[in-house]
């Protein structure tokens, strides 16, 4: 049992409150997942403070990094800048967590991180997305990284109760296998080992033994092959067996799907200001204007997708 939440803002006036709203939603899911939690936040450059507030940053990629122990992030930034030939700006979120911003080629920068600091994990990256995840209570994690003060236009979060793999930060959600792509999952897949093996033969490797990561990698591989997000999610419905609710976000999209039996709970609320979803309604109850929202449960295998 896990809890998932997401918020896609239509009204720009709410963007300064995104982190605050996501935090209260994530805290409401604590009973569904006390082991660990994570959140992916999407922001335009002008709304990226405290991570990177320079409006001229529209062309850069942001890399959410975690070392697992206190690290000299400024030194790493200098080494990456020397390796890639591009400026690297550093925003430290904690002793072992930082966001690096650079206009360097994406593959070049990721390769430079692996060479300079193989112990550092890239939790996620993208032009708009910043991602943090950790072991512990959702409220503690949000406070640790100052999430209530973050602004943006979209976010997805997860509280985990481990059933298929270890309780570690690496096994926590969201999984972000491609730029600006994040997936959170409630449920379990029964044939994920088979799909993981097929992906591996195609050159797509997983970092963990978590079943949810396999779904994220499958979606990323289909999108890399030219599929849109909706078609990629249809591939999950077709090829992966199990009980699941998925929320998948990209830089411009917010999508929800449940399996053919719709065993795992999900509720969606939509107003003229936002689209919100959660595993349980009480996570939505504190949102502004919720009493006037259209509230519904997505039907089995019904993909709901909103674009920016």
Active site residue 263: no
CB of 182 closer than 8 Å to CB of 124: yes
CA–CA separation, 94 vs 119, rounded Å? Answer: 16
Q: What would the two tokens of residue 88 be?
A: 């690297």
| Alpha helices per DSSP H over the chain | 18-28, 73-84, 106-116, 138-144, 192-201, 211-224, 229-239
Q: Measured between alpha carbons, how far is residue 25 from residues 119, 145, 277, 278 in Å? A: 32, 16, 9, 8
Which residue's structure tokens are 């969201």?
A: 174
Q: Which of 2, 142, 206, 263 is catalytic?
A: 2
Q: What are phi and psi of 142, to 5 degrees?
A: -60, -45
CA–CA separation, 243 vs 256, rounded Å? Answer: 14
Catalytic residues: 2
């Amino acid at each position: 049992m896990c809890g998932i939440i997401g918020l896609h803002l239509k009204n720009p006036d709410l963007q300064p409150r995104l982190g605050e709203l996501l935090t209260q939603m994530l805290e409401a899911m604590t009973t569904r997942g006390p082991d660990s939690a994570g959140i992916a936040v999407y922001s335009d450059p002008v709304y990226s403070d405290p991570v990177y507030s320079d409006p001229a940053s529209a062309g850069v990629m942001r890399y959410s990094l975690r070392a697992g122990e206190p690290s000299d992030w400024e030194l790493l930034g200098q080494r990456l800048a020397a390796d890639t030939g591009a400026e690297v700006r550093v925003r430290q979120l904690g002793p072992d967590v930082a966001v690096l911003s650079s206009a360097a080629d994406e593959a070049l920068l990721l390769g430079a991180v692996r060479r300079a600091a193989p112990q550092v994990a890239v939790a996620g990256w993208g032009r708009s997305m910043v991602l943090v995840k950790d072991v512990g209570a959702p409220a503690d994690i949000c406070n640790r990284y100052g999430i209530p003060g973050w602004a943006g236009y979209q976010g997805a979060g997860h509280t985990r109760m481990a059933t298929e793999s270890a309780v570690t930060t690496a096994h926590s959600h969201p999984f972000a296998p491609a730029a600006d792509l994040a997936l959170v999952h409630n449920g379990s897949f029964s044939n994920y080992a088979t799909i993981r093996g097929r992906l591996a033969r195609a050159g797509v490797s997983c970092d963990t033994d978590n079943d949810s990561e396999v779904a994220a990698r499958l979606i990323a591989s289909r999108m890399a092959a030219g599929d849109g997000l909706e078609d990629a999610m249809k591939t999950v419905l077709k090829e992966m067996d199990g009980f699941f609710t998925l929320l998948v976000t990209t830089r411009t999209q917010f999508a929800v799907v449940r399996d053919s039996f719709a065993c795992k709970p999900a509720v969606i609320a939509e107003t003229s200001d936002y689209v919100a979803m959660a595993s349980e309604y009480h996570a939505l109850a504190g949102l502004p204007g919720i009493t006037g929202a259209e509230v519904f449960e997505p039907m089995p295998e019904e993909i709901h997708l909103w674009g920016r």
